[in-house]
Structure 1
Amino acid sequence: MTGIFLVGCGSSLKSSWNNFTAYYNTFYNAHENFKAGLKKVNNQPVTIDPSSPVRVHRGPNKAGYNDFENAINKGAQVLREFPDSKWIDDAIFLIGKSYYYRQEFYPALQKFEELMDAGSSPKMISFAVIWKGRTQLDLKQYRSGISYLESELEQYPAKWPQKYRGEIQAMAGQHHAMLENWEESSDYLFDATSNIRDKTLLGRTYFLLGQVLEQKERYGEAYNAFGEVQNNFPDFEYLYWSQFKQADIAREEKQFDLALDIFQRLRNDDKNLDRRGRLLFEIAKTHEMRGEPKQAEKLFKNLLYGTESQSQPRELQADIYFRLGKIYSDQYDQYQVAAAYFDSSSTIKSSSRSDTNEDNPEELAETYGEYTELQKSITRADSLLKLGSLTKQELDSALTAIRIQKKRELEEAEGGESTVIANAEMTGEESMGTPEIPTRYGYLNYKNAELVDQYKTQFRLRWGDRPLVDNWRRAEVIRGAERQEDFETARDQLQKGADNSESVVATNLENIPRTDEQKNQLLIEKANAQYNLGNLLFLNLNMPDSARHYFHKVLKNDIAEELHPPAMYSLFEIFSTENNPDSLQYWGKTIRKTYPGTKYAQRVDVRLGGTFEQDTTTNLLDQYYHNLEDTTSQKPLKLRKLALNNRSSELAPHIFYQSIEAYIKQAKNGSGFVDSTYKRSLSDDLSDSARVDSVTISAASEQQLQFSGAAWDSVRFAIHQFDTTFPNAEQQQRVNKLKKVLEEHRSASQEKTTCKDLGISLSVEPGMASFLSQVTYPEKLEGTSLSGKMIYSFTVTKQGEVKSYELISQKTSLGIEEAFEEAFEQHLQFAPLEADEAPDEITCRVSFPIQR
């Protein structure tokens, strides 16, 4: 018995010594290296994009790269030299986490799976599940992540720690949120908040829950969830944005006082000093939403020109100009000023990124600019017709009054210029200031060379050629005489302008209509402007009441009789959208009776007869059938634009769906796929609405398609636009079917192995310089100097054959992408991959320098 006891004791001592040696010789050092790397990761600043689902765990950020490499090497030493020690699980776990923080996700995934198999405790097995879920999140393997986590939750033992169960539930909710499965996500996150014990993790989980509930429009619950973030304080960024989101939700619920209180409280916090401008913008926007445009305008302009104007980011300036444009267009009906503000916003946005997800300011600037020009045309015609109706004596009196008025305006301008020059001499260190509002010449009037020169003159009058050296004021005294000369020059210019007033009046005299023919021509021009203005108000600005006013004016103009049928039909269309059957019938009968046999009467017959075929503008059907016969690559774009420009028509959803089919056909042809069942007519679609869609993708054809690249991106964009523009259209079921197929294959493609995973890169054959010489840039870029790079993601085979590609860098409006993609199709070839374990297909990024 004694011998047996000694052997057992010796075995125990040997095992203890083995564990001791494994820990202090290797694992301790590995753990210290890991701690050093993790500290660097945690020292990196936290940034949050509140428009996207936040992460409940902090993601890797490349910090501590070398420390994690040392931890991997030391951990591997434990596995090699001490395979029987108790630190094996810890070493595998530490190696997996180190790979994860180095963003080497596939090796990390392998280690976490090893930990699942080798795990000797509920804690280690739970950690393996959690970290595998985190890794799948970074690999964007959302569907497989959901399947894995839900399977683990189903078999999670009840006696195991619930805090780990909560963390797994939070990960499942995160994966569902990334796929916008808001209902499933909220269920998992609610359960997670009951089980998680770590306050930091709990606070982040509540933030994500608030975002998900906001998407579900459960605003009260979302407000409370964001409030719980502050109770757990995961990080200052989360604290700031949780309060910001509470204010945003309060605005949505029209609790404006509460929103203003939160925004002001954030603005008064010294920790938000660099965000004071954005917070004042949100305060101003809240006043605007509450119906207080004057107060909002005052605050917006204070941000641009007042005490808050210093160092505002360009994207914030763009947003401010946009909101001012909305105020002047929607609240004040001052469209010329609105057009100037929108133009300023679009000019700034063209060179900066803004997160504003509202209307395109460039399009609004164009629309309101066109409105202003049409109004000017109408006013000009009215003025000239009025002058043409005067007797010679009345005309002379009117011209005298015009000359007096112009002289007074020039004198006022001269007085203003004198004040400016005097201020340049007397105001000391005060600046000249910035014009209070932009003009139709863009931000700071940069499009008007005359105004730019004027501002330069004002600047020189104030500061001269002041050098950046000491004692410059002595030189300033000497320049005093020179400023007087500038003053005299300015006065001479104003006098010259006064002399020019006579020539202006003389020029106007030539335009005054003398004959009936000239008067009739002006009446026709006026009617055309009124008709175009009516269309602009109805189709672009969604102002049917104002549009009716101008169409009626066209009908009262007997000289412009050729515009009467389209004006009547436009009124017919307006009343069709307003659900006004009496007025609809009236204008339909009037068109039939007055203009029988015209295309407008035929369309009324079709419309009132209940047939689907109709249009919302005067030539919609003609354009539709013309575009349907188009055989160029522009066909889908033409159809899509036609549908969007006539979105109030019942035919618009069908036209848009035809554009989706055209996009799909192009994408299939680009993939070497030919669908013989694609072609069909409008009548086919109407006669059999329940048939199987001609573009529904069978299992066999799915295998032939990659569903990636620029062409398939166009399909996805068109489907998304259809969803938002025609949510209740009868084609929606077919669109949803297409969307589901594309989403499934995009998820599958996102899980492909990348060059980065294998540590290799693609090599262009015979060389990059040779390929770049084949790129033909658009003619409009001739004579220009360009620099930069285009980044594309390619899916290629082991042999280097390109299967698909997708633009990764920001798209330009210069046609450069099209030039490169044309060269891809004709000249691009990659060398075979130099990797023994490369899969059949691999995704890699390649950067192409722009050389011109």
Structure 2
Amino acid sequence: MALEQGRNSLNDSYQDNYWDILPIERMQISDEVILPGQSKNENFNRAEEKAVKAIQKHSMNIDGKEKNPQIDEAYLLLGKARYFDQRFVPALEAFNYILYKYPASDKINQAKIWREKTNIRLDNDELAIKNLKRLLDQEELKDQDLADATSMLAQAYLNTKSVDSAITQLEIAANATKSNDERGRYRFIQGQLYNTLGYKDSANIAFDKVIELNRKTPRIYMISAQLEKIKNFDYEHGDKLACLELLTDLEEDRENRPFLDKIYYQIGAYHLKNNSEKLAIKYFNKSLRERSQDKELKARDYQILGDISFDNSEYKEAGAYYDSTMNNLALNSKPYRIIKRKRDNLEDVIYYEGVAQVNDSILRLVNMPEQDKVAYFESLIETLKAKAEEEKEKQEKALNNNGLITVNNSATGASNAMAPRGGMPNRANTFYFYNPTTVAYGKNEFVKIWGDRPLEDNWRWSNKGNSNANNDLLNSNEVFANATEDELYNPQYYISKIPTDKKEIDSITKDRNFAYYQLGLIYKEKFKEYELAKSKFETLLKSNPEDRLILPSKYNLYKIYTELGQADEALIAKNDIISNFPDSRYAAILNNPESAVLEDKNSPENIYENVYNKQENQKYAEVISECDTYINAFDGEPIVPKFELLKATVSGRLYGLEAYSKAINYIAVTYANTPEGKQAQDIETNVLPKLQNQEFVSDSLANNYKVIFQFDNADAATISKFQETLDEVLKNIKYYNLSTSVDVYGPNTTFVVVHGLKNAQVAKTFNQLLTKEDQKKIKNPYFTISSPNYQIIQIHKNLEAYLSMDSN
């Protein structure tokens, strides 16, 4: 009885994943380590104790033979209890003991089957298949024993990816079992396996057998079988009306209320297949409102809604849906990483789409005739007046409701002690903040006008709120907030806010064009949304963009036309590039496509790698010069932020922390939505504050020192020759493992550094380590410095301050 109670609790707590092939046996395997003497379920612990007590007290082992026929059943109970408690090795021991000690037992076949179940749990699938096949060949199993053996053989075949063999064994098990619960499960798994093989007709036959069982089997199997059949529906040749009627019947059946989340999802999928997007969105949302426990289902609902929003260019909504999708997926799983990558890419889309929409709106207003501007803003003012009237009515209604509430409170005696004589309401109750209705209304209006603002100083600043670019420039909160009552309803006030300066308009146009270019690249490279990318590049080229954007946009359009199979358009774009830009890198690639397969020495990536290698060799001035050249040459391409970050790093090493800070700040602001911009922001926030300290530490606290030979305005050959001589001299020094390096300090100063000295006094008397002959070779002056202080002078370029301190 305890074993059955524990088994039932296992079944009740187990949640099947109907998005994957169901396991034959409902049992959740936990990775938690169980110590000796512990148990996951007290029922199994009790069953094991009873089995052990029966064996200890009632076993009659006489002359090596057991005389009590109940003892083999006690061992079988012991093995089952251990099996369900997920202690498989002790369970295997109990089943093997029956086979060894009780070969004539009437439970011998059950013991063999349970032993192979345990072997399957221990991942000994090949051994289980071998033993179960031998059992089926040697013994004439019937009824439940046959069902148990063949179902376990099917599980072993599934584990070894032998799907055909598993289907055959499940057919035998479904016919042999006495349990309709098991029969429904086996038939459903059969249908799932046929679907994995692509045999939809056979799968539907298996699902029909589950449906025929009706109330004889758990309803979840019947509902899932119906839904799986609908997933197999042929939308091209099938009867769509009959399919929709079936879904409607499932939805309206009161017995199906626990499964409405799955039914609504399938109805949504049906409408999505039929291009009824609004109905699909409605049912996916209804599925989510059912508060399903199926995280996979919720993740799919959110992901589909996110994809729909993305396709409709509603990027903020899509981002929110993808966030919810990730919350319902296993962290760092493959589906999670795919959605996370898409969500991260959306950050750039949201930013650039916002720029494009706002600037397009501004430019539309700029180019409007004066008469059209007046008409437009008069229409806007009419809308504002209507909203103001509506809000006024709401406020009056709220105040009236407040009065009613106060009077009612006084009349009912709920606050008689607080009410003045004469029945007048307490004046305190009419104060704004004492009325929850009015307070809630006020909060909503604040959020509508200002957005979700934190409680801080200067909260009204325009950069504190989220810009709303859905309509035009004049949706800016600041325009309304700063307007007087007269200005709010005066068209000329809004017209005066439209830019008129040519430089400002050119800047807006330039930003808009760059946003279109970036969007085209993102849609093409990151999302493979070629139609969207095509529309962005084509719109850009119609907007008279800067020269730097024309050629890469045309080349990207050529690649997109090729991907979309639009050969004529691709040929036109190709000829345009070759004829109008014959000396460009793109023309060279188009003229000789085979060379594009080989490594392009002039590609931005290879150029960057070459410049980076020069930085590794401390050719800092040369790197800065080349970075400036290539930043201009590749303006508008994704490689530019990499060159900027490399230039910032080299500037820091050559000119110090101040130059590095300025360069990092520039990257963080200018390229905020690129990986390099985000890296720069992280450096600015977390790294730069730690480098601000310029205080030198006491040499007595250090345990590593350097000897520095300083060269000013020396050529590379002189420095290299000195280092070679120094290396030869250091080989003659015993007891110390010394090495040298050449470190650039500034534009005109280079250090030759000796490393490996652990004592300050030894470092200061470095020349005394040398022999007299070696001292003649090394006559250059030197100074010593501890490793922490050397790091400080390289970061802050304050060598003079250190030397003056040292001399004092």
Query: What TM-score comes out, normalization by structure 2 length?
Result: 0.56
- Please name the residue that 2:318 is paired with: 342
8 Å contact from structure 2 (residues 302, 324) kept in 1: no
- Please name the residue that 1:153 is paired with: 133
Q: CA deviation at 1:356?
A: 13
- Please name the residue that 2:499 is paired with: 512
DSSP-derived class of the 2:275 partner: coil
Question: 1:387-786, aligned counterparts within 5 Å?
Answer: 388=366, 395=370, 397=371, 400-401=374-375, 403-421=377-395, 424=398, 481-482=430-431, 499=484, 502=487, 509=496, 512-515=499-502, 517-607=503-593, 611=597
Q: CA deviation at 1:537?
A: 3.3
Q: CA deviation at 1:122?
A: 8.7
- Please name the residue that 1:229 is paired with: 210
Matched, 1:57 2:25: yes
Q: For residues 557-612 of structure 1, give each alpha carbon's deviation from its aligned partner in whole angstroms, at most 9, with x where no partner exists.
A: 55511112211210221133234455444433433343344332343345356846
Match of 1:273 among 257, 268, 278: 257
Distance 1:382 1:317 in 2: 37
Look up the equivalent residue of 1:345 and give its one-letter code.
Answer: Y
- Please name the residue that 1:185 is paired with: 166
8 Å contact from structure 2 (residues 523, 532) kept in 1: yes
Distance 1:341 1:119, change over 3 A: farther
Q: CA deviation at 1:153?
A: 0.5
Q: CA deviation at 1:108?
A: 0.6
Distance 2:361 2:254 in 1: 58
- Please name the residue that 1:377 is paired with: 355
Look up the equivalent residue of 1:514 and give its one-letter code.
Answer: D
8 Å contact from structure 1 (residues 591, 601) kept in 2: yes
Q: Which moved more, 1:379-388 or 1:470-479?
A: 470-479
8 Å contact from structure 1 (residues 322, 345) kept in 2: yes
Matched, 1:37 2:11: no
Match of 2:87 among 72, 86, 104: 104
Distance 1:461 1:543, change over 3 A: farther
Distance 1:213 1:314 in 2: 24
Distance 2:26 2:298 in 1: 32
Matched, 1:84 2:69: no
Q: CA deviation at 1:417?
A: 2.4
Look up the equivalent residue of 1:150 and give its one-letter code.
Answer: K
8 Å contact from structure 1 (residues 403, 501) kept in 2: no
Distance 2:546 2:577 in 1: 16
Distance 1:367 1:406, change over 3 A: farther
Distance 2:180 2:600 in 1: 61
Distance 2:564 2:519 in 1: 19
8 Å contact from structure 1 (residues 321, 341) kept in 2: no
- Please name the residue that 1:634 is paired with: none
Q: CA deviation at 1:79?
A: 4.4
Taking only aligned residues, the RMSD between alpha carbons, in angstroms, comes to: 5.0
Query: What TM-score comes out, normalization by structure 1 length?
Result: 0.54
Distance 1:170 1:205 in 2: 8
Distance 1:64 1:462, change over 3 A: farther
Distance 1:360 1:564 in 2: 33
Distance 1:135 1:37, change over 3 A: same
Q: CA deviation at 1:240?
A: 4.0
Distance 1:132 1:362, change over 3 A: same
Q: For residues 402-426 of structure 1, give each alpha carbon's deviation from its aligned partner in whole angstroms, at most 9, with x where no partner exists.
A: 5534433322322332354456568
Matched, 1:132 2:112: no
Look up the equivalent residue of 1:229 and give its one-letter code.
Answer: V
Distance 1:348 1:238 in 2: 28
Q: CA deviation at 1:300?
A: 4.8
Distance 1:627 1:62 in 2: 61
Q: Which moved more, 1:558-567 or 1:371-380?
A: 371-380
- Please name the residue that 2:455 is paired with: none
- The number of aligned residues is 548
Distance 1:261 1:123, change over 3 A: farther
Look up the equivalent residue of 1:342 and give its one-letter code.
Answer: A
Look up the equivalent residue of 1:224 and give its one-letter code.
Answer: I
DSSP-derived class of the 1:156 partner: helix
Distance 1:274 1:221, change over 3 A: same
Distance 1:473 1:622 in 2: 81
Look up the equivalent residue of 1:218 and give its one-letter code.
Answer: Y
Q: CA deviation at 1:231?
A: 4.4
Look up the equivalent residue of 2:66 and give its one-letter code.
Answer: D
Distance 1:303 1:484, change over 3 A: farther
Distance 1:320 1:415 in 2: 40
Q: For residues 642-684 of structure 1, give each alpha carbon's deviation from its aligned partner in whole angstroms, at most 9, with x where no partner exists.
A: xxxxxxxxxxxxxxxxxxxxxxxxxxxxxxxxxxxxxxxxxxx
Distance 1:379 1:127, change over 3 A: closer
Distance 1:417 1:519, change over 3 A: closer
Look up the equivalent residue of 1:532 and give its one-letter code.
Answer: Q
Q: For residues 363-421 of structure 1, give each alpha carbon's deviation from its aligned partner in whole angstroms, at most 9, with x where no partner exists.
A: 6666667556545534544454455567xxx54x5664455344333223223323544
DSSP-derived class of the 2:137 partner: coil
Distance 1:92 1:565 in 2: 81
- Please name the residue that 2:276 is paired with: 292
What fraction of aligned residue pairs are identical, expressed as a percent? 16
- Please name the residue that 1:210 is paired with: 191
Q: Which runs of 5+ in 1 are unaligned?
A: 1-34, 428-459, 632-777, 783-852
Distance 1:462 1:105, change over 3 A: farther
- Please name the residue that 1:219 is paired with: 200
Q: For residues 501-540 of structure 1, give each alpha carbon's deviation from its aligned partner in whole angstroms, at most 9, with x where no partner exists.
A: 959987985662433x555444433322222232233334
Distance 2:182 2:291 in 1: 36
8 Å contact from structure 1 (residues 72, 95) kept in 2: yes
- Please name the residue that 1:116 is paired with: 99
Look up the equivalent residue of 1:65 and give its one-letter code.
Answer: F
Q: For residues 418-456 of structure 1, give each alpha carbon's deviation from its aligned partner in whole angstroms, at most 9, with x where no partner exists.
A: 3544565689xxxxxxxxxxxxxxxxxxxxxxxxxxxxx
Matched, 1:174 2:123: no
Look up the equivalent residue of 2:555 and give its one-letter code.
Answer: Y
Distance 2:389 2:112 in 1: 78
Q: Which moved more, 1:559-568 or 1:313-322?
A: 313-322
8 Å contact from structure 2 (residues 177, 183) kept in 1: yes
DSSP-derived class of the 1:64 partner: helix
Q: For residues 475-511 of structure 1, give each alpha carbon's deviation from its aligned partner in whole angstroms, at most 9, with x where no partner exists.
A: 9975773369987996998996752895998798566
Distance 1:192 1:553 in 2: 64
